[in-house]
Structure 1
């Protein structure tokens, strides 16, 4: 089986962090078969022929291929649909330009934030559904701006959050540990927020595949487990394994995955960030030893330089080995 150091890197593979997945799962970076490598090359070649020159790096293409079980035709359709959406939504410029001054006011009704890391080194993402009040929020902002904020955070998760976490952990980290607090949510109240949440979920599944590491649904209301047992019948078994539905006694289970010092006190941890954990954005991406400027912050002439290269030209550079953290 080829390793990242043995296989010539694509000209698109410009990484400054480890690129081997920590677990030897089929189809994951550093653990691909020759057949899977060939499908990456085929997909990249077909996309280049369609005129695409961005997001053709190996890690991105592998994520899309895994999401479609390495069916190249289906993956190509997914990728093209994603690029169409990015253009229409203005995604490429959001991380650098989007401002969200209403965030503190919105957080009174719908806190959603990244906060430190779990025991595997992945970013922890937290949402509190029980306080969602769409009527109050509509007086402060719009669904469209909320979605733009969500997408901005997805972009920032991809860079700089995950690269910084990978450098600190000394291994490739592509996923997040998510905590969804359902306290205060009743089964009957869910339809009132279903529209927004369904759009948000569609963005995650269709345009940011393979980003879920673990999902903890805590403070699940009575009857939720029964409903979820029906829903999970329609989900991919791999996804189902990542989801943990917990009631009010969730703390011990959650602390097995998230260190107490990284978990906000309100969820059973010991962290009390100055000014509030939900506003701190604390994590390796804020630590000088591991953080680097995100690529989306680079001047456009630097980001588009790769378009001047001949498609299909391979660079003979070695990929950073996962065992060597990048300072």
Structure 2
């Protein structure tokens, strides 16, 4: 008998009846006419949920079996079979799991707590992962001479979130990088998935991203690179919701800064709050990043003390 079960048994009246809920949690039967909700597992992240978010989450849980059936129409047992998303197992018969709650909440928050819209996004994400074959992309070996300098995961911020660097000028051979757009997208998705592996969904569920544009100019972009960037942006906005804590754009060319400010009025305030366009040079970049990342965790090229990539 677990400690929780023992405690529940000890406090229950001797003649009370007990029943197992749909979530597999042993719970004392309520008096006739009353309903006792299952015990809700809590973590540091779920403790941050608001009452409205809890209400939306409970409604969302009811929709999960149907969502899974819609995502996998060819699976006869889709409503009951477990699926894994970002390393978290979603078990339809036992949705009362703190990590699962954090994952599901991301879809709700991305859609302003609309259960129907969150469900649509969840279904689309599961379908896309299946069609894209994310698992195979994560196992694929990509040439280091092409992609090795384009992305780095190094250090943590002051709250323990991983810091991810996308170095767009890391390889100036655009034909090598973007000649095969689908290969680039597989690499980019695999890199994102590798970043997510560092999230435990108990204390950390987001990352910091640094987008470095050093060496990137208007003339250094071709049609393939533009199309690849557009497709990647669509993938991440549609299928990786609420995984970003903050995003810093560093060493940004002046023309790109101008474009950012041009589109700023069209961006949601929540998105803008996460984004910062920073100037060039270690000193200038450090002034922004050191507010989030300790110097020993930040590479010297960005104003820190770490001898990293």
TM (norm. structure 1) is 0.66
99, 110, 119: which one pairs with 2:141? 99
Match of 2:288 among 253, 265, 273: 253
Q: Does 1:266 align with 2:304?
A: no
Matches within 5 A, 1:273-288: 273=308, 277=309
Mapping 1:61-72, distance limit 5 Å: 61-72=104-115
Q: Which has the higher contact order (CA 8 A, sep 6+)?
A: 1
- Structure-1 residue corresponding to 2:259: 227
Q: 1:194 to 1:176 in 2, by over 3 A?
A: same
**Which blocks of at least 5 consecutive residues in structure 2 are unaligned?**
1-20, 25-41, 70-78, 91-99
Size of the aligned set, in residue pairs, is 243
Q: Is the 8 A contact 2:206 2:243 kept in 1?
A: yes
TM-score (norm 2): 0.70
Contact kept? 1:10, 1:58, Cα under 8 Å: no
Larger Rg over CA atoms: 2
Separation in 2, partners of 1:9, 1:144 = 42
| Superimposed CA distance per residue, residues 116-166 of structure 1 (whole angstroms, 9 cap, x where no aligned partner) | 112221111001113443213357xx322222222223223333x112xx7
Q: Do the aligned partners of 1:215 and 1:242 also contact (CA within 8 Å) in 2?
A: yes
Q: Could you say which residue in structure 1 is the equivalent of 2:165?
A: 126
| Secondary structure class of the residue paired with 2:215 | coil
Q: What 5-or-longer segments of structure 1 have no aligned partner?
A: 1-7, 12-17, 22-28, 278-327
On the 8 A contact 1:217/1:244 being kept in 2, the answer is yes
The answer for the alignment partner of 1:200 in structure 2 is 232
Across the aligned residues of Structure 1 and Structure 2, the Cα RMSD in angstroms comes to 2.8
| TM alignment of 1:123-202, pairs within 5 A | 123-131=162-170, 132-137=172-177, 142-159=180-197, 161-163=198-200, 172-190=203-221, 192=223, 193-202=225-234
Q: 1:144 to 1:19 in 2, by over 3 A?
A: farther
Q: After TM superposition, give the deviation of residue 94 of structure 1 in Å.
A: 4.0
